Amino acid sequence: MTWVNTILQGLLLGGIFAMAAGGLSLMFGVMRIANLAHGDLMILGGYAAAVSTLHLGVPVPLTVLVSMAVLGGLGYLLQRTLLDRAMALSELAPMMVTFGIAVMIPNALAEVFSNDAQPLNIGALGTASIELGGGLAIGWFPLLTVVAAVLVLTGLHLFLHRTQIGRITRATADDPEVVRLMGVDNLKIYALTTVISLVTVALAGTLYAMRQGGVTPYEGQLTVLFAFETVVIGGLGSLWGTLAGGLVLGVAQSAGAQISPDLPLLAGHVVFLLVLVFRPQGLFGRSVLA
């Protein structure tokens, strides 16, 4: 029964990984940008939520919206001022820009807010759980996280495949030059893509901060690693794969923790490496944005 519980907890942990990885997958799929700042932007999203309730008195459940608005706006500026220009320079330049941002964000956060955790307390919801009998329990909050992840990834999928703008986004991912000849301003599509990516990562970051009870500046370096592992395990460019990848990584870490408290990270990395060796295209690897 312990192992059933371990897998269950792992699946719930995987929800956050999947959500964080969704935006990463989208930006890579559309613009071929490997956003190395994704984890730090996620933590920044956590800070936006924590600071808005600490200093502005925003009710805790609504901090999610503040965080999404702040990061969405930041995403627009980031794309228009930096990434568009970097993309025009070379394929590697955008990655170097995001690397620079990944260095700047945690240092700026430490400078402004110190290294102490900024608390984001969700009170009773954090510990409330549903008893399933036989010693099994599902926390309400992890459950909420998984549901949110499924909704976000389903939403992204529906957006890409069922809406006009989504179709144009897929066409832009295929050939940004030719869409211009169909009357599409590809830079607007890029801006929208980055905004969506950062709005989802803001949601992930806020839920992450709520789960941990707060955030500290340097956590992004680890979360970006998890997000990349999730994308690779699931298969690049496949949103369902991303969900599966998050859950697999969550279960692996949770199983590792069950064996020894030192093991969760190692277990996650081992699963990641095994997938990379035996199924390099990932569990659901297909073409881009399929």
Partner 1 sequence: MLEVEHLAVSFGTLRVLDDVSLAIPPGQAVGIVGPNGAGKSTLINAVSGTGQVSRGTVRLAGRDVTHTSAARRCRWGIGRSHQIPRPFGDLSVFENVLVAAERGAGLRGRDAAAQALRSLEATGLLSAANTMAGAVPLLGRKRLELARALATSPQLLLLDEIAGGLTEGEADELVSTVLSLKQAGVTIMWIEHVVKALVQVVDRLVCLAFGRIVADGSPEEVLASREVAEVYLGGALA
Contact positions toward partner 1, by CB under 8 A?
A: 164, 167-168, 170-171, 173-175, 177-186, 287-290
Pick between residue 114 and residue 287 the one whose CB is nearest to partner 1. Answer: 287
Tokens 């613009």 sit on residue: 31
| Contact (CB, 8 A) for 205 and 67 | yes
Cα angle: 129, vertex 135, 141; to 5 degrees: 20
CA distance linking residue 157 with residue 33, whole number of Å: 19
Q: How far is the CB of 176 from partner 1 (least distance, A)?
A: 11
Q: How far is the CB of 175 from partner 1 (least distance, A)?
A: 5
Pick between residue 173 and residue 251 the one whose CB is nearest to partner 1. Answer: 173
The residues facing 138 across adjacent strands are 130
Pick between residue 138 and residue 184 the one whose CB is nearest to partner 1. Answer: 184
CA distance linking residue 242 with residue 207, whole number of Å: 18
CB count, 10 Å around CB of 157? Answer: 17
Q: Give me the amino acid identity at 168.
A: I
Q: What are phi and psi of 133, to 5 degrees?
A: 85, 160
The residues facing 119 across adjacent strands are 214
| Contact (CB, 8 A) for 19 and 226 | no
Pick between residue 81 and residue 164 the one whose CB is nearest to partner 1. Answer: 164
Pick between residue 269 and residue 286 the one whose CB is nearest to partner 1. Answer: 286
Helix (H) or strand (E) holding 137: strand 136-139
Q: How far is the CB of 177 from partner 1 (least distance, A)?
A: 6
Q: How far is the CB of 254 from partner 1 (least distance, A)?
A: 35
Q: What are phi and psi of 247, to 5 degrees?
A: -65, -40
Tokens 């699946």 sit on residue: 11
Give 271-275's long-range contacts (Cβ < 8 A, gap of 24+): 271/233, 272/229, 272/232, 272/233, 275/232, 275/233, 275/248
Pick between residue 169 and residue 197 the one whose CB is nearest to partner 1. Answer: 169
Q: How far is the CB of 201 from partner 1 (least distance, A)?
A: 24
Q: How far is the CB of 194 from partner 1 (least distance, A)?
A: 19
Pick between residue 108 and residue 184 the one whose CB is nearest to partner 1. Answer: 184
Q: How far is the CB of 181 from partner 1 (least distance, A)?
A: 6
